[in-house]
Each structure stands twice: as structure tokens, then as C-alpha cells.
Amino acid sequence: MPPESFDALRALSKRQQEIATLLRENGRVGVEDLASRFSVTPQTIRRDLGELAEARVVTRVHGGAIIASGVENLAYEARKQVAQDVKRRIGEAAAALIPDNSSLFLNLGTTTEEVARAVSGRSGLLVVTNNLNVALELYRNRSIQVIVAGGTLRPTDGGIVGRLAAESFSNFKADIAVIGTSAIDEDGTLLDYDMREVQVSRSVIANARKVLLVTDSSKFTRRAPVRIARLEEIDLLITDRLPSPELADLCRNAGVEVIEVGGGEPDGEG
């Protein structure tokens, strides 16, 4: 938990502090279980979790919350649960911008996997990826050529990371790169947890003609230690919603087009 989260935690209610304690003990809490435990309505618990998310103590997932970390990513299965419906809409919006008969980079992330799912029926694509989940989604379509980057396989999520994977992408010049990120700082910096993954992401950005960032709004309340890129290195951001006018200004000043697909709630539900 970031140091400022401790200061924010002291300002929260006793119930919210108890929720934070339960999260540290169990890693995950559910709205209905918490409502029953504290004899309050689910709406009250959702407000509590929303305030805890603003304090960067938790990350919202469908039906509850999981413990937040500024130095370690969530487990893959937990990441898949965050904003599932929103990620699907983001994936469909990104797919609509990818023409048939084009070359495409898809890197790691549960949202980029939704993009792969949305283009899985297309034709004439050449897809280079370091994400085994993406490759498994696409390889059955004989109209899509899939090239899997070499490198070190990360067993936690099927990601291929490290120097060899980064060099694999440098052999190509793709029409479009679709990338994800683990966190977005207040100044618009894209951040991640694994330096080996960041090596690959930087190579993906450097070797694409156009870069699409796909991310749900929960990433705006998270922290991570490793810098991927500056906002101005991105051409287009697809998200459910921008959290503040300040970030909208950052995107405009950086020349980043923004597509908001909607559907995300401020408390992370949906």
C-alpha cells in the first residue's frame, strides 16, 4: 500500500477501516457478504469501497474489491474479473478501428485479450503477440497469421517477457499496436510492475505506426513502479471513462484522441 494510503485510511470511517483489515487478511471481499456482516445496505458498502478505491487501498472488481498494491500486480484471475463488461466494450471499440489485411501488435493484458476476441473472426490479419492467451484465441482462424514472440514464459499469466521478446517485435513494423497498462499516473505516465514486460511494451510502441492504449478506468486509481511510456507516445486511448477534466486536458495537450465507451461506474461496478 502506498504511504499516502495510510494517511487516507486514517480519515476513513471505522467500518471502512475494518473492511481494509479484512482485505489485508483475505485479499478479496464481496459486497453482499460485507453488507450482511455490517448490517448495512449493499449501496452503503459500494460507497465504502469507492472511497477505499479513491484512497488507493483497494481495487474494485465485479461484486466487491481486492487489495491494492503499488509494487505487485494482481493475480491473473483477479485481473480478469476487474471491469469484465467494460473490457469487452473496449475490445469491441478497438477492433472496429482495425481494418482487415493489416498488421497488428497485441501485448499482455486482459483488455488486449478482449481485443483479440473481438477480431478473432476477421481476415487477412498478421498478429504479432507475446501473449499466449491472445495466440490461443486467434490461431484457429486460418485467415489470421499469428506470430508468437520468443522469450521467457511467465507462468502466472502466459506472458512472454524479457529482452528476446522485445527483440522479436523489433523485426516488424506493424500498422497498429494495441497495448495495455497496469496503471496510469496523474501526470499521464503509463506504468507497470515487471521490468521484463516493460521492455517488450517499449519495443511494441517503438515499432508501430499507430499505438492504441486500451484500459478500463480502474487503472487511473492504481500505482506501479516501472515507467512504460509518456502519454504523447500514444495515438489513441480507449477507456470507459476519463476520471477527471485534468486528465482530459492532458490527453488533449498530448495530441491523444480519446474514445469513451461508457458503462463503467465510479465505484467500479459493472
Q: What is the CATH number of the domain that holds 57?
A: 1.10.10.10
- CATH number of the domain at 160, please: 3.40.50.1360
Q: Annotate 53-120 with DSSP letters as a single string.
A: HHTTSEEEETTEEEE--SSSPPPHHHHHHTTHHHHHHHHHHHHTTS-SS-EEEE-SSHHHHHHHHHHT
Asked if the structure places residue 101 within a domain, the reply is: yes
Residues linked to residue 144 through DSSP beta bridges, in sequence order:
125
| Mean per-residue pLDDT, 40-66 | 85
- The residue ranking higher by pLDDT, 26 or 195, is 195
| Mean per-residue pLDDT, 48-69 | 80
Q: Work out the end-to-end distance of the chain between its first and last CA atoms, rounded to an integer number of angstroms.
A: 25
Rounded-to-integer distance, Cα 5 and Cα 57, Å: 6
Asked if the structure places residue 270 within a domain, the reply is: no
Q: Are 62 and 270 in contact (CB under 8 A)?
A: yes
For residue 144, which phi and psi values (nearest 5 degrees)?
Answer: -120, 125
Same domain, 15 and 86: no
Q: What is the pLDDT of residues 134-153, one digit of tens each?
A: 999 999 999 999 999 999 99
User: Cα separations (Å) of 65 from 58, 68, 214, 251?
Assistant: 6, 9, 22, 29
Same domain, 100 and 50: no
**Structural domain boundaries, residue 212:** 82-260
Same domain, 252 and 149: yes
The pLDDT confidence band at residue 20, using thresholds 50, 70 and 90, is confident
Give Cβ neighbours of residue 145 (< 8 Å, ≥ 6 apart).
125, 126, 127
Lowest mean pLDDT among 19-23, 63-67, 103-107: 63-67
Strands 174-179 and 208-214: parallel
Tell me: pLDDT of 2 over 80: no
Tell me: pLDDT of 5 over 50: no
Tell me: pLDDT of 129 over 90: yes
How many folded domains does the chain comprise?
Answer: 2
Show which of 33, 68, 103 is a domain's final residue.
Answer: 68
Same domain, 40 and 90: no
Same domain, 202 and 169: yes
Same domain, 91 and 62: no
| Mean per-residue pLDDT, 67-73 | 56
Same domain, 124 and 242: yes
Rounded-to-integer distance, Cα 58 and Cα 82, Å: 12
Q: According to the model, what pLDDT value does residue 97 have? A: 98
Tell me: pLDDT of 185 over 60: yes
Q: Please give the sequence-ordered ranges of beta strands (E in DSSP) within 116-221, or none if there are none.
A: 125-129, 144-148, 152-154, 159-161, 174-179, 183-184, 190-192, 208-214
